[in-house]
Structure 1
Amino acid sequence: MNSLWRLNKYLYKYKGYLLLGTLFTVISNIFVIIPAQLVRIAIDYVVESFSIYQLYESTALGDEARSAFLKFIFVFGLLILLMALLRGFFLFLVRQTIIAMSRLVEFDLKNEIFRHYQSLPLSFYRKNSTGDLMARITEDVSRVRMYLGPAIMYGLNLAILFPLVIGYMLSVNVRLTLYSLLPLPILSLSIYYVNNMINERSEKIQRSLSGLSTFVQEAFSGIRVIKAFVREEDSATEFAKASENYKDKSIRLTLVQSLFYPLILALVGVSTIITVYVGGLEVIDGAIGYGVIAEFILYVNMLTWPVTSLGWVTSIVQRAAASQTRINEFLDESNDIVSTEELAVDIVGEIAVKNISFEYPDSGIKALKDVSFSVEKGQALAIIGTTGAGKSTIANLLMRMYEATSGEISIDGRDIRKYNINSLRSQIGFVPQDVFLFSDTISNNISFGVDSASAKVVEKAAKDADVYENIKGFPNGFNTRLGERGITLSGGQKQRVSIARAIAKEPKILLLDDCLSAVDTKTENAILNALKLIMQNRTSIIISHRVSSAKLADKIIVLDDGMVVEQGSHDFLLSKKGVYSDLYEKQTQANESMEE
């Protein structure tokens, strides 16, 4: 339960809903008890009055006695109906307060988790899978809401109804009360165990269904491979096995669920039989009237669901506590990448990297070892190296996605840690290697980094990125909606839209992280020609494993195994006959072979 204490701030925030819900629960339960008392009075009246009525039945007063008798019964019926309507109205108000409160808390909690997710560093997302992050903000929050809504509502109902009913029953007849309530604790424990079995089997079904869905998704995504290798039969057989597993688990759950209501009805029936038997003995002894038996049967039925719900509520609370513990694990994660001085100033674009080393905290891989370089305002630097050389790590450090293990990065002569992080990133145009476009219009994708970009800004960015004519060729132009991850566009178009998005915010530093790796030579040349214009008067860093990208740079550094092995101009490095020269010759020969 300790983990659930974290939710108290929300209960305090919405205390008005909780207090009103408690008040409405008390009132609704009063209107539950009154009808039972009316039934007892009515039955006792009927029993006592009927013998009197028989005396007058054959006399002149018979009709009047019958009329008075029926009128009295009719009034009782109307009163019982009125009590039921009033109870229904206040139960409606209970749900409109407590259940509404749980939905409001669910809304706030999801927003709190999402905001916290957004504030965490990139290392957090390397350690945790997307599926786990999604599960905690959806399934776990839903379980917590069940605690804040139904569990609190039924718990309050039990806490209020039980003492009211039991207190009154004891005041009428202690012996009958004890006997009539005898099966209820057994009922509560039975429901608790049955409900735990249902929850356990439900979770197994969810896991089985998740596996089934993943299998189907992979089969449909890889349908070309399946058909190319003629594995349709094998795929169908594997699906049948997974479906059989899901079916068996579902049938086992149905078997347990089928015990639920028979168990309730059986124990309620036992309680009713005991009440009638013991109550009959009490009537014979003259301790109570006939109406008390009917009243106690109604009370037993009133207490059946609250007592039954005790096992269910206990199970909900346990599951909510487990889910809140999982949520708290992420909420307790902190972002160690913070600004020391929160400087929010315009940058010029002078970059100096001194003796930077970096080790990934999650894997322990040493990505950079004592790397140093500098870039003047308006200059272009190319960082060349093979896969795993540490090129993208430099981009992440410049964006402050990670903190360097040692060394110093400065921009305009100031330590990068002094800058306000949002201010710094807003002045860097970043084009990632793995282009990600949102399922939105092309216009909104290009203006993603700008708060209120006009159509002119979007069009200019598209023209600068040499993608304007392609976009205008679409039926809906800039209002064309892209598919998931920009699937509607070709590889080159996606890259250029990504470049347009980076330059739409007029960045002082342009950071291109191997963004031409997925395009052919012809498309690469077209994008490089567009970049010549874009890079003018901007500090640019071109990260690539292709030496052809380096032709735009004023200076080149070559990385190998996280260390700078060469640096200088294109011509200087070619004349040096080192790593850069070897890469240049190999890639040039490969391109010539492909063209042939």
Structure 2
Amino acid sequence: MSALSATNKYLFRYKWHFLGGILFVALSTLLAIFPAQIVRYAFDLVSEGIDLYHLFAGTSSQGEVYSLFGRNVLLYGILIIVLALLRGIFLFFMRQTLIVMSRHIENDQKNEIYQHYQTLPLAFYRRHSTGDLMSRISEDVGRVRMYFGPAIMYFMQLVLLFVLIVPLMFMVNVKLTIYTLLPLPILSVSIFYVNNLIEKKSDEIQRSLSGMTTFVQEAFSGIRVLKSFVREQDSHQQFARASNEYKEKSLSLNFVNSLFFPLIMFLVGLSTIVTVYVGGQEVIRGTITTGSIAEFLIYVNLLTWPVTALGWTSSLVQRAEASQARINEFLDQKTDIVSQQNIEQEMVGDIVFDNVSFTYPDTGIQALHNVSFRIRPGQTLAVIGNTGSGKSTVAVLLCRLFDVTTGTIRIDGVDVRDYSLNSLREQIGYVPQDVFLFSDSIRNNINFGLNNPTEERMQQAAKDANVYDNIIRFPEGFDTKLGERGITLSGGQKQRVSIARALVKEPKILILDDSLSAVDTNTENAILDALQRIMHNRTSLIISHRVSSVKLADEILVLDDGVIVQHGTHEVLMQDADGLYRALYERQLQSEDAA
């Protein structure tokens, strides 16, 4: 229960739901007990009424006895119906307090986890799979909800029923009470083990289904590759194996489920037989009445479900504790990307990298080593190099998605670690190398970074990114819905929509991280011509492995294995015959000629 102590704050938050739930549990329990005593009186009345009826046989009083007997039985019947209706009302309110409370807690916990996820650094997401993140916010939270809802509700019912019913049973007859309650602990323990077995098999089925779903998703996402390599039959065989595994596990669960209710009914029936047999012997001895047997049978039925639920709720609490421990594991992780002074100011765009070195924390790979350069306000700097040279690392450090290992990055003389994260990132337009578009309309993808977008800004950004003409040719224009990860668009169109998303913000600093790699030369030149106007008086950083994308920059940095090996304008760098920049230029020129 130590892990679940972290959720006590929710009980305090919804204390009125919780206290109201306890009240309605108590009232519904009391109203379940009273009818049992009325049934006892009714049974005894019937027995006594029959005896009196026969005693006054042949007299005028026999009719009065019959009439009195009928009125009393009717009264008891009406009382039982009224109490049942009242109990139904209180059971309704019991669920409307405790179960509703559990749903509120589920919602709050999901929001808390999601909000916490967004504060964690990129290193966290590189260590954990998306499936793991999803399972903690869905399955694990769902199991914790079962603890706050059914587990607490049924446990309180059991405690109240035992506290109220068992003393009443002992007051009637000790021997009958002991024999009647004897099968109930066996029932509870049996349900506990059977339910654990059910839950274990359910987890196996869930994992099997998750694996099969992932396989199908990948197969359909990569259908072009699948068809190109003629692997349809092989893919079908793999799916058939996964499907058969899922079927076998489902059948195994179905077998265990089939044992669940027969086990309950057998042990309940055993309690009923014991009650009738032992109670009958006590009636013969004259220690109890037949009404007491009826009362005991009602008590047994009242105790059966809570005792059954004890095994079930014990399993629920165990699973909730394990799930909350998994949730706490993530909630206890804190981001190290925090603002030191929370400075919020409008940027001019004077960027300085001062002896910056960076090693990725999860892999230990050193991406940059003592990198120093300056981009003056309104200037455009290009960073070029081979794959793995550390180009993209410059961008993520500037956006402060990671913090430098050593050295300092300053914007307008202020360390980026002193800026408010929101203020820093809102003033930077970043087009990442790995383009990601949401399964939404093109309009909403472009306006993603704006709170109050306008049609004019959106259209102008699309024109500057040279994607406007493509968009308006779609039947629904800017309202065209994109598929998963923007699959509706071509690679070049996705890149240009991503550029438009950055441009519409009108950022103080613009970062293009290899964002023209999927477009042809003519489109690239058109975008660069438009960007020249946009970059005027705006600090810009162009990262690319293509020389054609960077030659219009004011200055060019050439990175190799995390170290600056050349620095200058296109003309100056081309004069170095042995330099990496000229080698890259000539290699790409030959590739274009060959194409």
TM-score by length of 1: 0.97
The equivalent of 2:368 in structure 1 is 368
**8 Å CA contact 2:466, 2:523 repeated in 1:** no
- C-alpha displacement of 1:289: 1.2
Equivalent-residue separation in structure 1 for 2:214 and 2:413 (angstroms): 51
The equivalent of 1:453 in structure 2 is 453
Aligned pair in 2 of structure 1 residues 231, 454: CA closer, same or farther (>3 Å)? closer
Equivalent-residue separation in structure 2 for 1:219 and 1:339 (angstroms): 43
Matched, 1:402 2:399: no
Aligned pair in 2 of structure 1 residues 477, 216: CA closer, same or farther (>3 Å)? closer
Deviation string 1:5-42 (CA, Å, 9 cap, x unpaired) is: 11110100000000000000000011100110011001
Q: How does 1:202-213 map to 2 (within 5 A)?
A: 202-213=202-213
Q: How does 1:4-403 map to 2 (within 5 A)?
A: 4-403=4-403
- C-alpha displacement of 1:285: 2.1
**8 Å CA contact 1:465, 1:534 repeated in 2:** no
- C-alpha displacement of 1:473: 2.6
- C-alpha displacement of 1:175: 1.6
Q: In terms of mean alpha carbon deviation, does 216-225 or 579-588 score higher? A: 216-225
Deviation string 1:357-394 (CA, Å, 9 cap, x unpaired) is: 00011111111111111111111100001111111111
Aligned pair in 2 of structure 1 residues 316, 93: CA closer, same or farther (>3 Å)? same
**8 Å CA contact 2:17, 2:97 repeated in 1:** yes
Equivalent-residue separation in structure 2 for 1:24 and 1:415 (angstroms): 59
Equivalent-residue separation in structure 1 for 2:343 and 2:326 (angstroms): 36
Amino acid at match of 1:450: L
The equivalent of 1:588 in structure 2 is 589
Amino acid at match of 2:45: Y
Equivalent-residue separation in structure 2 for 1:93 and 1:436 (angstroms): 47
Equivalent-residue separation in structure 2 for 1:203 and 1:587 (angstroms): 53
Q: In terms of mean alpha carbon deviation, does 449-458 or 365-374 score higher? A: 449-458
Q: In terms of mean alpha carbon deviation, does 441-450 or 542-551 score higher? A: 441-450
**8 Å CA contact 1:514, 1:543 repeated in 2:** yes
Amino acid at match of 1:584: Y
Q: How does 1:405-484 map to 2 (within 5 A)?
A: 405-484=405-484
Alignment identity in percent? 61
Equivalent-residue separation in structure 2 for 1:226 and 1:497 (angstroms): 28
Amino acid at match of 2:362: D
The equivalent of 1:493 in structure 2 is 493
**8 Å CA contact 2:457, 2:504 repeated in 1:** yes
Task: Report the 3-state secondary structure (helix = DSSP H, G, I; strand = E; otherwise coil) of the residue aligned with 2:407.
Answer: strand
- C-alpha displacement of 1:436: 1.4
Equivalent-residue separation in structure 2 for 1:107 and 1:218 (angstroms): 31
**8 Å CA contact 2:366, 2:562 repeated in 1:** yes
Equivalent-residue separation in structure 1 for 2:551 and 2:227 (angstroms): 43
Aligned pair in 2 of structure 1 residues 457, 221: CA closer, same or farther (>3 Å)? closer
Deviation string 1:473-524 (CA, Å, 9 cap, x unpaired) is: 3333322222222222222222222112112111111101111122232332
Q: How does 1:510-525 map to 2 (within 5 A)?
A: 510-525=510-525
**8 Å CA contact 2:183, 2:270 repeated in 1:** yes
Task: Report the 3-state secondary structure (helix = DSSP H, G, I; strand = E; otherwise coil) of the residue aligned with 1:354.
Answer: strand
Deviation string 1:238-295 (CA, Å, 9 cap, x unpaired) is: 2222222111111111111111111111111111111112212222222111110110
Unaligned runs of 5+ in 2: none
**8 Å CA contact 1:18, 1:97 repeated in 2:** yes
**8 Å CA contact 1:513, 1:544 repeated in 2:** yes
Amino acid at match of 1:47: S
Aligned pair in 2 of structure 1 residues 539, 109: CA closer, same or farther (>3 Å)? same
**8 Å CA contact 2:385, 2:560 repeated in 1:** yes
Unaligned runs of 5+ in 1: none
Equivalent-residue separation in structure 1 for 2:255 and 2:486 (angstroms): 47
- C-alpha displacement of 1:86: 0.9
Equivalent-residue separation in structure 1 for 2:566 and 2:34 (angstroms): 91
Deviation string 1:535-580 (CA, Å, 9 cap, x unpaired) is: 1111110000111111120100111111111111111111012110
Amino acid at match of 1:416: V
- C-alpha displacement of 1:58: 2.8
Equivalent-residue separation in structure 2 for 1:225 and 1:419 (angstroms): 46
Task: Report the 3-state secondary structure (helix = DSSP H, G, I; strand = E; otherwise coil) of the residue aligned with 1:258.
Answer: helix
Equivalent-residue separation in structure 2 for 1:349 and 1:219 (angstroms): 46
- C-alpha displacement of 1:438: 1.7
- C-alpha displacement of 1:449: 1.1
Equivalent-residue separation in structure 1 for 2:90 and 2:527 (angstroms): 68
- C-alpha displacement of 1:146: 0.6
Aligned pair in 2 of structure 1 residues 44, 257: CA closer, same or farther (>3 Å)? same
- Cα RMSD of the aligned pairs, angstroms, is 1.3
Amino acid at match of 1:311: G
TM-score by length of 2: 0.98
Equivalent-residue separation in structure 1 for 2:136 and 2:41 (angstroms): 54
Equivalent-residue separation in structure 2 for 1:100 and 1:46 (angstroms): 44
Aligned pair in 2 of structure 1 residues 354, 477: CA closer, same or farther (>3 Å)? same
Task: Report the 3-state secondary structure (helix = DSSP H, G, I; strand = E; otherwise coil) of the residue aligned with 1:433.
Answer: coil
Equivalent-residue separation in structure 2 for 1:244 and 1:486 (angstroms): 33
The equivalent of 1:579 in structure 2 is 580
- C-alpha displacement of 1:98: 0.2
**8 Å CA contact 1:343, 1:420 repeated in 2:** yes
Equivalent-residue separation in structure 2 for 1:245 and 1:475 (angstroms): 44
Equivalent-residue separation in structure 1 for 2:256 and 2:470 (angstroms): 60
Aligned pair in 2 of structure 1 residues 223, 338: CA closer, same or farther (>3 Å)? closer
**8 Å CA contact 2:36, 2:295 repeated in 1:** yes
Aligned pair in 2 of structure 1 residues 215, 477: CA closer, same or farther (>3 Å)? closer
Task: Report the 3-state secondary structure (helix = DSSP H, G, I; strand = E; otherwise coil) of the residue aligned with 1:447.
Answer: helix
Q: How does 1:509-588 map to 2 (within 5 A)?
A: 509-577=509-577, 578-588=579-589
**8 Å CA contact 1:433, 1:516 repeated in 2:** no
Deviation string 1:288-335 (CA, Å, 9 cap, x unpaired) is: 111101101110111000000001000000111111111111111111
Q: Across the two proteins, how many residue pairs are aligned to each other?
A: 594
**8 Å CA contact 2:45, 2:69 repeated in 1:** no
